Chain A
Amino acid sequence: MGFLKEIGKYFIFLGNLFVNRESFKTHYKLVVDECLLIGIDSILLFVLVSTFIGAVSTVQTAFNLVAPYIPKYVISQVVREMTVLELAPTVMAIVYAGKVGSSMSGNLGTMRITEQIDALEVMGINSINYLVLPKIVASIMMYPLLVIVSGVCALTGGYLVGVITGILAPTEYIYGIRYLFNDFTITFALIKALTFGFLVASISSYKGYYTTGGALEVGISSTKAVTTSVIAVLLADYVLAQLLLSPA
């Protein structure tokens, strides 16, 4: 019951995004600000995490494929599939929720408990439209970009480790990356990225926006924002895979 109520409240929240809205010009500035914030907040972390994941995937795949009749390029082919299908869009969404989602929630939670949201509302401004819509739009725009960045970093990380440690030759790695490449996997990854960008921003904003209490509760909201976002991302990941990848 409580769960259904929460879902209902979340959808009403989303409905309010477009009520009594501010001008395009106002929003344009806010969206640009949010995009910069998201980028600055997460780019280093994304580069770091995905490079390492790419490198580790390469080493571990090589470790598992010991049979001599398996060609070396299969290693980078596997790393590519893992990166495009799951590591870049989904695993990084968990990192994204931890970094960007929690900061969105903390930001709105602080604005709530210090009555900044009330101050907007009392001026007749729809605070959900003014504060949350730019966050969601920025996230939908920025997360796919970050996914592309992390895909490139992961493959680069794999390349560097693979070549430096002598697991496979540069030409083999490149050959594997291009071998039997299905470009729908990229489309699929971007569809996932758009979905996850939306989910993380909207859920985290929702959690932050409805914070009550004090500084302690802002922290609790942030934690809940991350856990709820992650669960939603994983559920959506499954649903999308079922819808778009299962043979018709």
Chain B
Amino acid sequence: MIEIKDISKSFADKQILKGISGVFEKGKPNLIIGASGTGKSVLLKCIVELIKPDAGFVFFDNRNFTEGNKSLKIEVRREIGMLFQGGALFDSKNVEENVRFPLDMLAVMPRDEKQDRVNLVLNRVGLQNANKKMPSELSGGMRKRVGIARAIVNNPKYLFCDEPNSGLDPQTSILIDELIQSITSDYDTTTIVVTHDMNSVMGIGDNIMFIYQGEKLWEGGKSDITHSGVKELDDFVFANKVMIAMRDKNAGH
């Protein structure tokens, strides 16, 4: 479980995050949604302290990460797996080396065991025969899957995904969402997914936080999102033709 309290962040004179609080449960995906440029990625980076928030606190299973000492920070960091928007694969390393990297750097285990673990997670994301490929040879969807494999290879307690399905076709998107969901429930991780994709929201959105211009305006589950009563959220949700059609169909009954 991750808890955030009053996270604020400004760049220069522009306030990007305005005191965001919330709780992210473990065992199911927690979604952060909102339009582009509202500060979702900044919030995610503030949680893991890739960006230092100006104010506020982050607790990882009741451990105060924000005020923790260096060794606590390293300890928590090593329990984190993160999927970045473009995959962030190391482009000088092949698929297998990318996935093995966290084990090489952080884990103490024999070589064979590492290899088994790498093959296991590559299997898990459906990439059995790509071990020796270089990142430049992969499609967008494959890069994300390698990114997921690298994020989960060291058994993280916390999994962060920044727009896991942006730039992917709808079918691959659904596969990635399902993958994230099943990994989350199988390993009981605390997972936070940033997205602006309504398909994902309606698919895996049990616990959703809506951010609008740096503020949290709403939270809840996918069953309530269509009748939140929050105008900004309605504008976001019904910017999608499928959602409009669904609403009109329901209204017609």
Contact = CB atoms under 8 A, between A and B. Distances in A.
Interface stretch (A8-16, A120-128, A175-183, A225-233): A120-128
Contacts, number: 47
Given A20-B70, A118-B50, A123 B78 contact: yes
A121 to B, nearest CB: 6
Given A121-B50, A123-B106, A114 B88 contact: yes
A119 interface: yes
Interface in A112-165: 114-116, 118-119, 121-125
A124 B45 CA distance: 14
B73 interface: yes
Interface residues on B, range: 20 to 34
Contact of B48 (A110, A115, A116, A122): A122
B98 to A, nearest CB: 9
Contacts of B82: 118-119, 122
Interface in B75-134: 77-78, 80, 82, 84-86, 88-91, 102, 105-106
B74 interface: yes
Contacts of A123: 77-78, 80, 102, 105-106
Contacts of A22: 105
A114 B86 contact: yes
Contacts of B80: 122-123
Given A20-B70, A124-B74, A119 B88 contact: yes
A25 B15 CA distance: 44
A12 to B, nearest CB: 14
Contacts of A124: 73-74, 77-78, 106
A110 B135 CA distance: 14
Given A121-B50, A122-B82, A116 B77 contact: no
A27 to B, nearest CB: 12
Contacts of B45: 118
A119 B102 CA distance: 10
Contacts of B88: 114-116, 118-119
Interface residues on A, range: 10 to 19
Nearest to A118: B50
Nearest to A113: B86
B91 A122 contact: no
Interface of A: 20, 22, 26, 110-111, 114-116, 118-119, 121-125
23 contacts: A20-B74, A22-B105, A114-B86, A114-B88, A114-B91, A115-B84, A115-B85, A116-B89, A118-B45, A118-B50, A118-B88, A119-B88, A119-B90, A119-B150, A121-B77, A122-B77, A122-B82, A122-B160, A123-B102, A123-B105, A124-B73, A124-B77, A124-B78
- In order of increasing CB-CB distance, the 6 nearest A-B pairs are A124-B77, A115-B88, A115-B84, A119-B88, A124-B74, A122-B82
Given A124-B78, A124-B106, 17 more contacts: A20-B70, A22-B105, A110-B91, A115-B85, A115-B86, A115-B88, A116-B88, A116-B89, A116-B90, A118-B84, A119-B88, A119-B90, A122-B50, A123-B78, A123-B106, A124-B73, A124-B74
